[in-house]
Amino acid sequence: MAGTAGTVADLIAAEDVLLFVNAAVTSTGQREFHSGAGEQRLSLAFLHEYVRINYRPLYAAVLALDINDHNAARIVVDLLRTADEATSAQKRSEGRLIAARLAALPPQRVYRVFRALRTAGVNNRRTRAIQRDWLAARPDLGHDAVKYRSGLKTVARHAHQPLGSELGNFLFRPGKTARYADARLDAYRRARYEQGAIYELPFTVAEGFAAKHGVPRALFLERIAPRMTRLERLRTQRSTGMPTDLTAMPLTRLALFVLSLSRQERHARRTELTGALRAAAARVAGPHAGGWGRVSAVLDDSYSSSGSGVKRRRPLAVALGAHFLLEALAGSYRAHWLSGGSDALLVRPWGPSPLGTRVLDALEDSPDRLVIVSDGWDNAPPGLAGEVLRIWRTRLDGERRTSVVHLNPVYDADAFDVRRLAPSVPTAGVRDAEDLAALVEIAQFAEGRTGLPELLAYLDRRADAFLTGRGGDER
Amino acid sequence: MNGLDLTGLTVMPSQVWGGVRLVPLVRTEPVPGLRLHHEIYDRAIGEVQVGPRAHYLSYVPHGFIADWSGDGGQQAAYGSRLAPSADGGADCVPVRMHHRLAKRRRSKGVSEQRLRFLPLHLALEGYLALHFGGPSVVWDEWSQQAVRQGLSPRAEAAYAGWQVPGLGQALRIFEIHPGQCGVLVYTADSLAAAFVVPHPDDYRALHPSLIEDLYGELVYQYAHFSGDVPDFEVRIGGERHIRTLADLRLAARGQERNWVQGHDALMSARLLGPSYRFDRVYRMDRFALWRFLPSFSRSEPEQHIGEAICDHRGRVAYLKTFRLSDAQIRRGHLLDRLHDHDWHLDRTAEAMGVSRTQLVRRVEDAGFGSLLKHGAERASAR
């Protein structure tokens, strides 16, 4: 479809796909600061359907990009649900992409996908094969049977998967077997009567049994500690007081954790937190560290960056993560927070968004790259940032010495895209600060200077890397 | 005193959500010696004693406390607290008694440097009590009820903030400026309410109270039927002259100044321009609590009633206004003219340039028909 249909159609196709990518990266169908969950879901549902029907191969190829799990799951379900719309060649490539994506998704998400397939009444041979392969690749089905019991049950029943007699008995005929050979299954059986057995179970399952037995929370947390995942340990860290190794955390997760601490605590643990953030950023930057030249950043810490009840402080966490990542990537780096503050560790969502003024401040550093991380709501005064960037481009920097990129962590349900500051500034949606470098690459397509063939080539490249396993674990 | 003096308050760029525009007002430094905080009543329906034998019932979600002790000990209260479960039955509306509209706080028999008043009620009472007593001379045309009880019932309908479409969301996503001490609320780009406090911390604490305040029916209608109002987006013209970053910054500053001037000339002039009749309710040290009424002249399209705390130089430390609807303005105008002429129908009709019959019809149309005796338009002047 590339090239022959005419450039206008090409441009529209490229724009549509980029629109969709931005939405698939940022929106999770949850409440945002400016729009409710209903609007987000409705808007996202329309985009999914529009892109699936009009650009089916591209729709599938998006699975290879760093889109969020919610949208990845949705694409998988939609592709399998509408398999009759695809040619057999398309089905083959879709199948490979789906399998690769399912392998990258967290297991609870995949079980939810399978449940959605069951609800939608999808049970063809290909779907069953995909489910069979995914189950075969699970390292320990006994663990899944205990932790994702109903999920595993659903998929086994729906896809007619034989699970072996013990697992089958555990899931479908509980109480029939006096003793299980698998230690995990047996621990689950015993946990109903025996307090000691609950500490052999995964944390979330054990939590329920602990409550049933009335085990004091502190004692329970202390004894279950070796069974917890890294994230569970971080989540309960406040109540247990157990030190967690922060240096192994991914960057945005870590930023979210830092923002959940009070300012006093952040101040007191400054060296530890800064060290962990720097380490995470350095890991992400990898070989590119220090290679970006002079970088200035405008980072949004206005009140709207507090996100919503379900995505608490997410936009601010992305900005904080981006701050440390850019620091690692840049040769020389300067940050401009909207509040005017200079201490990144103590940021809080507070006050208006004078984006225009801060962009002016940042341009005064005469950087090689200007990165703006903001939800795009510019209100003090409205539209100044767009005007400043427009005049900068047309009057002051015609030779493009400075490249400007706007990264937006919030999906705007009304506009079916992330909010832009100016038409001349490439904008990309961002969910994790880790993806920043890849997004800067994709943002250049949004500028309209590169067309559909380049975008298709880029998607092909990403899909190849994803399928061969080189790109899948970058995030 | 005959006008509002908002010296010291600077207008910042507006924030728009749907049909609601919120314009922040920022003070460079807070008013010294006065703090405001609010107390929340667990019963939103209150009975207020306004005179020895006069009470009224109204929606009173919270009261404000003006504190001019200046010792800083009394800080702004936190936004909300858990109220104990209502002990009244579910089938009746519990009522809270408020003694007086403005009342000095006492603690163990000693009066404190603190005053409790019910926001907007001063102003509304001022409007409702416009010639509270009714006719001052017993003219034949007025019924016994008018002579004995005055203008009764004194009732005005209003909408709570959460009933005004879009206002709740606009207030929720509004980004408060550092140093912000006030806000102007516009619906469909017509001024709905002004709210000013002495200290930024007070504003931060009282910002959510705007959702519980009273708004006139016009505000509700404008918010309901207006579409989205346009954001005043910056447009930098004359790009040919911009050669350096400094030029660009200058142009941006110019745009900010333009907004302030444009706002003051276009939008807030209708609040600050007209003269008001001020009525002092309470004096506290250097400050005084006033309520004000507009002129009720037919030529001014927007009229606000309200209350203000001003310092000794007349600068506003606290301000809250209520936008009157056209019908309310007409009623005020009519009562005003009647009062001017001692409630004499013929003289009033002559002064207004209408016939006696027309005046009587207007009195009836304004909802005051029960005050007139039957056949008042035919009774001859004495």
The predicted-structure confidence for A132-178, as pLDDT tens digits, reads as follows 999 999 998 999 999 999 999 999 999 888 888 889 999 998 888 88
Contact A418, A438 (CB under 8 A): no
Residue B81: the pLDDT is 40
Given A379, A388, A392, which is nearest B13 (Cβ)? A379
What is the rounded distance in angstroms from the CA atom of residue A123 to the CA atom of residue A160? 10
The predicted-structure confidence for A276-328, as pLDDT tens digits, reads as follows 999 999 999 988 888 899 999 999 999 999 999 999 999 999 999 999 999 99
Residues of A in contact with B232 (CB under 8 A): 381-382
**And the tokens for B380?**
């001859």
A387 and B CB contact within 8 Å? yes
Residues of A in contact with B248 (CB under 8 A): 360, 388, 391-392, 395-396
Residue A471: the pLDDT is 45
Whether the model pTM is above 0.90: no
Q: What is the DSSP string of A348-409?
A: ---S---HHHHHHHHHHT--SEEEEES-S--BTTBTHHHHHHHHIIIII-TT--SEEEEEE-
Query: What is the residue type of B38?
Result: H
Q: Chain B closest CA to A354's CA: distance in Å? A: 10
B248 and A391 within 8 Å at the Cβ level: the answer is yes
**And the tokens for A52?**
């699936």
What is the rounded distance in angstroms from the CA atom of residue A17 to the CA atom of residue A7? 15
Name the nearest CA neighbour of A255 among A344, A358, A373.
Answer: A344
The DSSP H or E segment spanning B66 is: strand B62-67
Residue A253: the pLDDT is 92
Query: What is the residue type of B51?
Result: G
The predicted-structure confidence for A219-275, as pLDDT tens digits, reads as follows 999 899 888 888 888 888 777 766 677 888 899 999 999 999 999 999 999 999 999
What is the rounded distance in angstroms from the CA atom of residue A84 to the CA atom of residue A90? 11
Q: Chain A closest CA to B259's CA: distance in Å? A: 9
Residues of B in contact with A357 (CB under 8 A): 252
Provide the pairing of β-strand B45-49 with B96-99. Answer: parallel
A415 and B CB contact within 8 Å? no
Residues of B in contact with A364 (CB under 8 A): 245
What is the rounded distance in angstroms from the CA atom of residue A311 to the CA atom of residue A8? 38
Contact A344, A324 (CB under 8 A): yes
Contact B148, B317 (CB under 8 A): no
Which residues 195-234 of B have a C-beta within 8 angstroms of A? 231-234
B238 and A CB contact within 8 Å? no
Reported for B241-245, long-range contacts at CB under 8 A and 24+ positions apart, including other chains, are: B242/A391, B242/A395, B242/A396, B243/A395, B243/A396, B244/A396, B245/A360, B245/A363, B245/A364, B245/A396
Mapped onto helix, strand or coil, the DSSP state of residue B317 is strand
Query: Mutate which of B15, B22, B26, B175 to disrupt the A interface (most A C-beta within 10 Å)?
Result: B175
List per-block mean pLDDT (blocks of 10 residues) for chain B, which spans 382 residues: 83 90 92 84 76 75 79 42 41 62 75 79 70 69 78 78 92 93 92 92 91 89 88 82 89 88 81 85 86 85 88 90 88 86 87 90 84 73 48
- Across chain A, what does the average pLDDT equal? 89
Name the residue in chain A with its Cα closest to that of B238: A391
Q: What is the DSSP string of A216-245?
A: -HHHHHHHHGGG--HHHHHHTHHHH-----
B313 and A CB contact within 8 Å? no
CA distances from B269 to A239, B217, B264, B302, B326 (A): 56, 22, 6, 10, 19
Contact A204, A211 (CB under 8 A): no
Q: Is the dihedral of CA A6, A9, A12, A17 positive or negative?
A: negative
Beta bridge partners of B289: B282, B309
**And the tokens for B357?**
């019959």
A356 and B CB contact within 8 Å? yes
Residue B170: the pLDDT is 93
Residues of B in contact with A302 (CB under 8 A): 175
Beta bridge partners of B106: B111
What is the rounded distance in angstroms from the CA atom of residue A351 to the CA atom of residue A65? 34
Residue B263: the pLDDT is 84
Beta bridge partners of A414: none
What is the rounded distance in angstroms from the CA atom of residue B335 to the CA atom of residue A102? 76
